[in-house]
Amino acid sequence: MLPVVDWGLRDYRDSLSAMHGLVADRRAGRIPDTLVLVEHPPVVTIGVEGDDGAARASGLPVVQVERGGRATYHAPGQLVGYPIVDLEPRGRDVRRFVTEVEAALVESIAPFGVVGGHVPGRRGVWVGGARKIASIGIAVEGWVTYHGFALNVDLDLAPFDRFHPCGFEEPVMTSLAREAGRPVSVAEVKPLVVRAFREIGGRAHRPVPAPAV
């Protein structure tokens, strides 16, 4: 069973340092695949695809990180997950792993009557093809994944308007509470996310066939 570590509310930089430690432990075989769940105080993170300057001019705290993607916002009321997963026994298939993370989040929000899905060419989970409810940005070191997803549960979305989240100039961000039409707590969502990710964990040691040459 996939172990889950709940950090509660934790400073982003402190979490980043701890996450790097978990990656080192996973690469050394000291820990199994692990899912970290956390909420962060308000902060904007910028991935390897960069930012057009709007995030740094937003007045929000900004941290440059090594995950995929561009700029996004974290705050309490958003459930952030960091899957520390060895992709070696999964065929080193990063794209498939990202697809499975998306699928797990789609499954997690379904009990609230919210239908999520994938939009071709756009990472993350979308509602109605135009409203982004979860962002995904993965990094890989020695075939161990880190960073992960940010699911907007019930938070103030206004700070997203102060920069261009994921590079989009138009407002695209939504939340589970907005889509469900009622307040939703992070505590309600956590067990659903854990269950969905444990199903992914159960497939972790099934090798993925190599592509035909």
Whose tokens are 């889509």? That residue is 179
| Contact criterion met (CB below 8 Å) for 190 and 79 | yes
103 burial class (0-12, 13-18, 19+ CB within 10 angstroms)? middle
Neighbours of 95 (CB within 10 A): 8
34 is catalytic: no
Residue ranges with strand state E in the chain = 4-9, 34-39, 43-46, 62-64, 71-74, 78-84, 116-119, 122-127, 131-141, 144-152
> For residue 102, which amino acid is it?
E
Catalytic residue among 98, 166, 177, 189: 166
Task: Give the helix/strand (H/E) hosting 105.
Answer: helix 94-109
Whose tokens are 């994944």? That residue is 145
Phi and psi angles of residue 167, each rounded to the nearest 5 degrees, phi first: 90, 0
| Contact criterion met (CB below 8 Å) for 74 and 42 | yes
Pull the structure tokens for residue 96: 């498939």
Catalytic residues, by residue number, are: 166
